[in-house]
Amino acid sequence: MTSRLHFGRAALVALLASSTFLACETKLTELTEAVGPIAFNFAVGPAANGLPSGSVAMGAGAVTLSMSNLRGLSGGQYQFWVLGRDAQNLDVPVQGFGTIKEFFLKGVGTDPITGDSIFETDSTSISDLRTDGYAGSDDPVVTSVRVILDSLADNSDPTTYHAVFVTLESAPATSPGAARFLWRRIGVGGAGSMLFGNFGGSDVVNVQSPRDYVFGPRGGGTGGARGAELSVDFKELARPPIGFVYRGYVTDVAGDGVVVDELRSAWSRDSTISRVSMIDADIDDALPGVTGGDIHAAQIRNCAAGSAVSNCQNTMDLPVDGTFVGYENFQLKLEPKDGAGPIPKKSVTLVGTLPGPVK
């Protein structure tokens, strides 16, 4: 259980003595009555689903990027770059332009035997003219986006460069920002899969450089639901790539969800480091618990709006009574900071099943 959900000592003894205590609604004696609602624990572990990914194909004078799970952005855009080196052996990024097409699933009928819907892949052009950016998509039927990168700012051939990479930009840019989150070193590896994380720059030997930070979900947590309150304590989370942030959700069996809160530092008796926002854990080395590529300890905690639970935000958009009824899971998602809003099914890094008695 988390450090912020407490039992009376006598109630804890009763819990250990009886396997049926948690589900019992019988009036308890004054000596064994819990302080507040009973807390129900659950475990949280890695379960990646819908993180950004991509691949590169090479053709005559063009580099084709096929990418999935590029979440919709609110005002910003994804941009495309190639990377070369100058006479001093320094990296030189060059802005890329291309045509963009989205692929999506289209319903075409119903299976006469199973009754299941039948889908086929279709596409739509986002830009038939060469453009420098893509706004992403949170449409659940969109499966991927294809960018044919065949024009550069310096009019050279994109296939002659050392690497290709994608950035998250808050506004159209003519030079790449720090959020270089998806890449491939085509000068070494040619066509193939892209890496997701923080691009480390040129490397003429390795497809994956020691300077890269490649993101992969790791760590775990212990959560608890207590009346209108949900709290999850995490250990050893992978640090977000630059431009990304962790948020927690409760979701139903279909994957539709309600946000609990963004990630915060672990609770501490020292108020200066207790439950500090970790929205900048991607770039701020001084945040509590951030060490290298890890977040050693962190927490997500919130209570239903109007519940008035002491020392809780009380801003979760769920009812005070039966708060988690109809919800199946807790999910920790990795989302763009400039994201347009919550979307089900994508960006999942860790998952825990909510306890039966609360749902």
pLDDT (average), residues 15-31 = 37
Model confidence band, residue 256 (pLDDT cutoffs 50, 70, 90): very high
pLDDT tens, position by position, 331-353? 999 999 999 878 878 999 999 99
> pTM score > 0.85 for this model?
yes
pLDDT tens, position by position, 132-164? 999 999 999 999 999 999 999 999 999 999 999
Q: What is the DSSP code string of 295-355? A: EEEEEEEEEBTT---TTS---BSS-STTTTTT--EEEEEEEETTB-S--SSSSEEEEEEPP
Which sequence spans correspond to the domains of the chain? 36-49+216-358, 53-214
